[in-house]
Homo-oligomer: A and B are copies of this chain.
Amino acid sequence: MNTINQRKKTMGRKKIEIKKVEKEANKQVTFSKRRSGLFKKACELCILCDVHLDIIVFSPADKIFRCGCSQPSTDAVLKSYIRGTTEFEDQQLMGDSLIYEEYNKEYEEALKVLQMEKKKLADIENLARVSKRGAWWNDSIDDMNGEELEYFMMSIFELKKNLLKKNMNIS
């Protein structure tokens, strides 16, 4: 019946190059679609293989999306964590003499030092990076030693800190 212009509504999917989408509008749409697809895949993986998984994404609009595929004991775990954090208050580190602003100063200071150390480490790292073949994130951390794990935990801490800064306006 439709021999001319009612048969095809779209040209269908097209191949694209994996590189930053410049047009803001398109980037937005692509993000929405692909994030959706990613989370779906993630949930399928969780169900199929009975594993736990977490994804955190910062959208182009600086919004945070998460995908946590598994639900058990969220409360208990969280409470445990909180309990651990609360111990801090018992240490009375928050005396009258120290004001919030001053801490922020120290915080910034420490950050600077940390940045310097990072740069130093990055330099050293560059020397060894030459022979790297696979993507670092594709490796399991199963075989890390204690020190390496410590670094790893610290990197997690960094991420947490960034999250706090980003959302709680701390610092």
Which A residues contact B (CB, under 8 angstroms)?
A: 18-21, 27, 30-31, 34-35, 37-39, 41-42, 44-45, 47-60, 63-69, 73-89, 91, 93-94, 97-98, 100, 103-104, 106-107, 110-111, 113-115, 117-118, 120-132, 135-142, 144-164, 166-171
Contacts and interface: CB of A to CB of B under 8 A. Distances in A.
Contacts of A135: 82, 85-86
A111 B103 contact: no
Contacts of A87: 128, 131-132
Given A63-B140, A148-B163, 13 more contacts: A21-B48, A21-B49, A30-B49, A34-B45, A35-B45, A54-B57, A59-B140, A64-B148, A74-B118, A74-B162, A85-B135, A87-B131, A121-B161
Contact of A82 (B59, B97, B106, B137): B137
B132 A170 contact: yes
Please give the count of copies of this chain that the complex contains. Answer: 2
B20 A45 contact: no
Given A85-B128, A127-B98, A169-B146, A59 B50 contact: no
Contact of A52 (B41, B57, B93, B149): B57
A75 B124 contact: no
B157 A18 contact: no
